Structure 1
């Protein structure tokens, strides 16, 4: 049986932490940022973990067991 290859698109977007959780960037932080009012500060630059429902699928894409 051949080895499973890492999905390179997923490898650039997700990262496995030391405890085995998956980190991802928040969406909506790349362009058209000046139209948002300065009073509504959103914390989009922080990283967050992946929801438990998606964790199995992303782990398979990354080749982690």
Structure 2
């Protein structure tokens, strides 16, 4: 059986945590940041866990992570 290919777009967006969960960046911290407060921007900077429903799809896109 041939090797499975990793979806490169998913590999750039998601990382595996030490406990095995997939981590992702939060949205809304790309541009138009002038009117957003510092607390909000700080909160958006942190990583968060991918939901269980989406983690199944991410796992399929990244077979070796």
TM-score normalised per structure 2: 0.84
Give, in angstroms, the shift of residue 2 of structure 1.
Answer: 1.9
Q: Which structure has the highest helix share of the two?
A: 2
Find out whether 1:21 has 2:21 as its counterpart: yes
User: Which 4+ stretches in 1 moved above 3 angstroms?
Assistant: none
Distance 2:12 2:58 in 1: 12
Tell me the matched-pair count.
63
TM-score normalised per structure 1: 0.84
Give, in angstroms, the shift of residue 17 of structure 1.
Answer: 1.2
Distance 1:19 1:6 in 2: 21
Deviations 1:14-65 (A, max 9, x none): 00112110000001111110022x3x73110000000001111101101148
- Runs of 5+ unmatched residues, structure 1: none
Alignment correspondent of 2:45: 45
